């Protein structure tokens, strides 16, 4: 095949999406190089054997690149991952917030360190298997991030923090595809990952037991405190606020004539506050560390659809940017379990306007 397009680095996770991404770009004439970032700390290997940070993923990614006839590199970024993702993950729980490590991994590793590697290899672009789309603004001054065409697999939420310089070098070949399309691409190329099961869990917490991971990795130690109701009455005891999240009902270890949920976490007092379902509803909150994609400087106020977590359907809101990179969000109708530490991402139709991190 005659290469008529620039070199592109494909982040290979060992799954079907990144495999199809490499195959599509090769078919389009790009000079494709596959790279897997070795992210796991040594004590994570046994727990993540078949995940995107595990050794089986490396074996699968290498096999795909061999089948496609493209170069493949495995690059150790475990120290960076430990600092920028796992340490952040633990610190957020300690601060009474619920982290979103996938956003941080995209920002710092997949579109941070991977771009550095692209520069070393003379590559103009990097590509991933995210279901999202990119296009230039009407005046050509900005890159716009859009939802993936397949609404069930759209991953634009996880990419809201990318800067313009990162978006300008990104390619998302699956943006117009469905999940079944990607499997067909992989089958057509006889790739071993075509029917590989996808993981919906955080890669370094494969059993979804966040508290267990924090303890096993010696990032958090148990420390008892009070579980109190909205009036300050002690109704139970806990072993650390790190093991709870807003909206949690199960595992509280308390009895009550009506269901109780975690409505607030107080790191300063080491208290878990519980209340009924109505206490979970809010119509106002603030976000900080905002990243604006659709414009360089946000307007005084704008209307948007906001997603308060990845699997949230989105709800209308009025957004008022504030000094210091924060913004006030007024929802048109109250929403349940607005969780500090999670990302709030603003949309106008399919376009990601920007987003920020929900504050306590």
| Residue 310 belongs to domain with CATH number | 2.40.30.10
In a domain, 207, yes or no: no
Looking at the domain assignment, is residue 144 inside a domain? yes
Give the tens place of pLDDT for each residue, 143-171: 999 999 999 999 999 999 999 999 999 99
Summarize pLDDT for 90-131 with one digit per residue, the tens: 999 999 999 999 999 999 999 999 999 999 999 999 999 999
Residue 211 lies in a domain: no
Is residue 292 assigned to a domain? yes
Catalytic residue selected from 52, 65, 102, 105: 105
CATH code of the domain in which 259 resides: 2.30.30.280
Same domain, 59 and 43: yes
Q: 280-313 burial string, b = 16+ CB within 10 Å, else e?
A: beeeebbbeebbbbbeeebeeebebebbbbeebe
| Shared-domain flag, residues 270 and 291 | no
The tokens describing 115, both together, are 């771009």
203 is catalytic: yes
Up-side HSE of residue 210: CA atoms within 13 Å toward CB? 19
**Token pair of 264, please?**
């607030």
Instruction: Point out the catalytic residue in the list 44, 189, 203, 290.
Output: 203
Last residue of a domain, one of 137, 166, 188: 188
Together in a domain, 100 and 24: yes
In a domain, 213, yes or no: no
Q: Judge whether residue 44 has pLDDT over 60.
A: no
Which ranges of the chain would DSSP assign to H, the alpha helix?
A: 16-27, 55-68, 78-81, 87-94, 101-105, 114-120, 164-167, 179-188, 210-216
Does residue 353 sit in the same domain as residue 301? yes
Domain identity same for 52 and 168: yes
In a domain, 1, yes or no: no
Residue 45 pLDDT class (50, 70, 90 cuts): very low
Query: How confident is the model at residue 165, as a pLDDT?
Result: 97
Question: What's the domain count of the chain?
Answer: 3
Q: Classify residue 258: in a domain, yes or no.
A: yes
Three-state DSSP state, 59? helix
Beta-carbon contacts of residue 269 (< 8 Å; ≥ 6 apart): 225
| Residue 195 within any structural domain of the chain | no
Three-state SS at 125 = strand
Decide if 237 contacts 222 (C-beta within 8 A): no
Q: Max CA-CA distance within the chain?
A: 73
Q: Final residue of a domain: which of 173, 188, 203?
A: 188
- Structural contact between residues 81 and 39, judged by C-beta atoms closer than 8 angstroms: yes
Same domain? 53 vs 158: yes
Which of these three, 275, 294, 312, is where a domain ends?
275
Quickly count: other Cβ atoms within 10 Å of residue 49's Cβ.
14
Contacts 24+ apart (CB under 8 A), 119-123: 121/7, 121/9, 121/33, 122/7, 123/6, 123/7, 123/8, 123/9, 123/33
> Residue 142 is part of a domain; what is its CATH number?
3.40.50.620
Cα–Cα distance, 320 to 238 (Å, whole number)? 37
- Contact yes or no for 254/227 (Cβ under 8 A): yes
65, 11, 64, 2: which is closest to 29 by C-alpha?
Answer: 2
Mean of pLDDT values over 276-295: 97
Give me the pLDDT at residue 25, please: 98
Q: Are 163 and 14 members of one domain?
A: yes
131 CB burial (10 A radius; 0-12, 13-18, 19+): buried
Residues 263 and 294 in one domain: no
Contact 2, 117 (CB under 8 A): no
**Range of the structural domain that residue 43 is part of:** 7-188
Confidence of residue 204 (pLDDT cuts 50, 70, 90): confident
**Residues 289-343: pLDDT tens digits?**
999 999 999 999 999 999 999 999 999 999 999 999 999 999 999 999 999 999 9
How far apart (Å, rounded) are the C-alpha atoms in residues 351 and 144?
7
Q: Based on the domain organization, do 270 and 325 belong to the same domain?
A: no
Kindly state whether residues 263 and 332 are assigned to the same domain.
no
Q: Are residues 262 and 291 in the same domain?
A: no
**The dihedral of CA 247, 248, 252, 256: what is its sign?**
positive
Which residues is 157 bridged to in the sheet? Answer: none
Burial degree of 223 (CB within 10 A; 0-12, 13-18, 19+): exposed
Whether 21 and 145 share a structural domain = yes
Sign of CA dihedral 89, 162, 323, 315: negative
Total-model pTM: 0.92
């Amino acid at each position: 095949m005659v290469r008529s397009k620039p070199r592109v680095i494909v982040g290979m996770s060992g799954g079907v999406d990144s495999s199809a991404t490499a195959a599509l770009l090769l078919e389009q004439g790009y000079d494709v190089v596959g790279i897997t970032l070795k992210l796991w700390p040594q004590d994570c290997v046994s727990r993540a054997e078949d995940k995107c940070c595990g050794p089986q993923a490396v074996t699968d990614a290498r096999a795909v690149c061999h089948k496609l006839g493209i170069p493949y590199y495995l690059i150790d970024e475990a120290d960076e991952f430990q600092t920028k993702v796992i340490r952040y993950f633990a610190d957020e729980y300690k601060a009474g917030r619920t982290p979103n490590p996938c956003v941080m991994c995209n920002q710092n590793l997949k579109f941070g360190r991977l771009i550095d590697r692209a520069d070393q290899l003379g590559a103009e672009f990097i590509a991933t298997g995210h279901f999202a789309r990119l296009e230039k603004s009407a005046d050509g001054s900005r890159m716009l991030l859009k939802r993936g065409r397949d609404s069930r697999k759209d991953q634009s939420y996880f990419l809201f923090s990318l800067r313009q310089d990162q978006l300008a070098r990104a390619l998302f070949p699956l943006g117009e595809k469905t999940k079944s399309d990607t499997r067909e691409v992989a089958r057509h190329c006889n790739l071993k990952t075509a029917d590989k099961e996808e993981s919906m869990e955080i890669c370094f917490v494969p059993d979804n037991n966040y508290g267990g991971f924090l303890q096993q990795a010696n990032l958090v130690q148990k420390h008892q405190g009070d579980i109190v109701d909205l009036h300050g009455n002690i109704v139970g005891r806990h072993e650390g606020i790190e093991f709870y999240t807003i909206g949690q009902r199960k595992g509280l270890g308390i009895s009550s004539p009506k269901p109780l949920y975690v409505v607030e976490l107080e790191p300063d007092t080491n208290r878990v506050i519980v209340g009924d379902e109505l206490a979970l509803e809010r119509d106002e909150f603030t976000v900080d560390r905002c990243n604006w994609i659709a414009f360089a400087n946000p307007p005084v106020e704008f209307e948007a659809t906001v997603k308060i977590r990845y699997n949230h359907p989105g709800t209308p809101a009025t957004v008022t940017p504030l000094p210091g990179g924060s913004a006030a969000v007024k929802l048109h109708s109250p929403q349940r379990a607005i969780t500090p530490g999670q990302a709030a991402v603003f949309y106008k139709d399919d376009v990601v306007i920007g987003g920020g991190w929900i504050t306590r």
